[in-house]
Amino acid sequence: MYKNFYLMQKEPFDSHPSPELFYKSTAHQNGWNFLLQGIKNNEPIILMTGEYGAGKTLLYLKLMKLLETKTNLTSICLSTPTYSFIMVLEKILVELGISLDGIDPSDEARLEQAIYDHFEKKTEEKKKFIYIVIDDAQEFTYSFIYKLRLFASYNFSGYFPIRIILFSHPSFLKVLNHKKILAFGQRIKRIYFLKTLGFEETREYIYFRLIHSGATGSPIFEDEAIRFIQTISKGTPRLINNICDNCLLVASSEKRTSINQSLVEQAMAIGNLVGFEKKQPPQDSSSALQDERNHLGRRPSPAQPAPAPAAPAPAARAPGNTGHKNKKSQDENNRTRVVRVKKFEDAPIEKRAKKRVEKKSGMGNIGSRYGKISIIIILVLIILFLFFYLFNRSKANQMYNFQSGIEQTHRSVPDSIYSIQDRLYSMPDHLYTVENSDMFKKINKNTLSLNLISKKNKSIIEKKYQPIILMGNLM
């Protein structure tokens, strides 16, 4: 088997549904929420429909596992249509703990009444329920569903102790529309239809099953193979499992770790799988040509003789002999059309097909070449734009620095309003440059020590001030 080749712990695509392998697709998660909400709202009848293999049985098993944990209710499950209605009644009595002493097992009416008496007499059990869960309800007989409607309508002072949950094929809806059980169908507040998987969910579903099987890194399903699987299976999980299981069997025999579309087709041919739509065979050139002739109204091939033309109806003659002219122009158009059709038919089919292929390939090459040239031009323009942007930014920074230097150089200190001592006191702590001021002329060019009072901390700071002439004589 392929488990040893791919180092798997168990088969990933087992045909038996398992509640532990519940892939939460959008449809299946919404379906599960639908069931939980119906139980929470005490719905008397809950119905879920879906195509064969869509995952109804998986939700059925998951629901039964949940109901087993509830303490305020009991449940019985009916998964095969072999149960008669009397067998169902006996099963309900056993689950409710009702003794069958003194009751004839073949008396259907007495069995039903024993169930009703149990809920009416046991007032302390009033808030307890029993769920009848039926899988594949479409397989049960009409008489069984007809008798089941009695449980749906039974209530005791507004209390409905018997609840019914149905899983069925959409064909079951026709049974519910029958006039004798129409009241049973009308008690169903809403019906959930379980949809199949799309492409993305199909891919996630396949790898979800592979991961849970213990596979590490292989096999790999290519996207084209997954799309093909989703198309032919219509996203039905059961059919997806069958296809993938056969794919792994064929791939392991060929020592392959990657699965493509051709391998999927090979696996389906070997497995002789049922339930799939067969692909339509490709149409050959001759049939395509025949369809084209029929579509354009051209004459048939020589193998099929053309029917004799019907006699033309006599046209009303208008003044000026216009009818004769119109007939002549129409004959010329028909003659031209026949010549064109003759040339088209005389040309070999292979030559015409080759010409079409060459034309398509030529257009594809031209398109790809112009596409590459356009990309190169766009990249060059982007590079030039970035270059000019950085260049202009650098020039702007240089001009800004140059202007700032000039303004600082030409900054001067007023000459006559304040004294030298006051002006030195008003100076900030950092070094200023002055030019052509009386203060500069009166200060010794050597190092000058002054006691200045700092504005911030009012402490005496000794500063050595060395006036510097910056570009004064150069300007």
In tens, the pLDDT along 317-345 reads 444 444 444 555 555 655 555 544 444 44
Distance of CA 460 to the CA centre of its chain: 78
Dist. CA 97–CA 199, nearest whole Å: 49
Q: What is the pLDDT of residues 23-64, one digit of tens each?
A: 999 999 999 999 999 999 888 899 999 999 999 999 999 999
If you ran DSSP here, which 8-state letter would residue 171 be given? Answer: T
Q: How far is CA 468 from CA 412, 424, 472, in A?
A: 13, 15, 10
3-state DSSP call for residue 358? helix
113-to-89, 116, 120 alpha-carbon distances in Å = 10, 5, 10
The domain locations on the chain are 26-194, 200-271, 370-409, 420-465
Its CATH class, for the domain covering 200-271, is mainly alpha
**Burial code of 441-464, b = ≥16 C-beta within 10 A, e = fewer?**
eebeeeeeeeebeeeeeeeeeeee
Which CATH superfamily does the domain covering 26-194 fall into?
Answer: P-loop containing nucleotide triphosphate hydrolases (3.40.50.300)
**Residue 313 phi/psi, 5° resolution?**
-75, 145
Give the number of other CB atoms < 10 A from CB of residue 345.
15
**Digitized pLDDT (tens) for each residue of the chain, 475 residues in all:** 787 778 888 889 988 888 888 999 999 999 999 999 999 988 889 999 999 999 999 999 999 999 888 877 888 999 888 888 889 998 988 888 888 777 888 888 888 888 888 888 765 555 578 899 999 999 998 889 888 888 888 887 777 888 999 999 999 999 898 888 888 888 898 899 999 999 999 999 999 999 988 888 788 899 999 999 999 999 999 999 999 999 999 998 888 889 999 999 988 888 676 656 555 434 444 444 455 445 444 444 444 444 444 444 444 444 444 444 455 555 565 555 554 444 444 544 445 445 555 555 555 555 667 778 888 999 999 998 888 888 888 777 777 766 666 555 444 444 444 454 554 444 444 443 444 444 444 444 443 443 444 444 444 444 443 444 444 444 4
C-alpha 455/C-alpha 3 separation (Å) is 87
How is 401-434 classified by DSSP, letter by letter?
A: HHHHHHHHHT----SSSS-HHHHHHHS-SSPP--
Which residue type occupies 42?
N
Instruction: Please report the pLDDT score of residue 436 as a whole number.
Output: 44
Per-position DSSP letters for 361-373, written without gaps between them: HHHHHHHHHHHHH
Residues 6 or more apart from 173 whose CB is under 8 A from it?
49, 185, 191
What stretches of 68-124 adopt beta strand conformation (E)? 73-78
Q: Which amino acid is at 298?
A: R
pLDDT of the residue at 452 = 40
What pLDDT does 360 receive?
Answer: 52
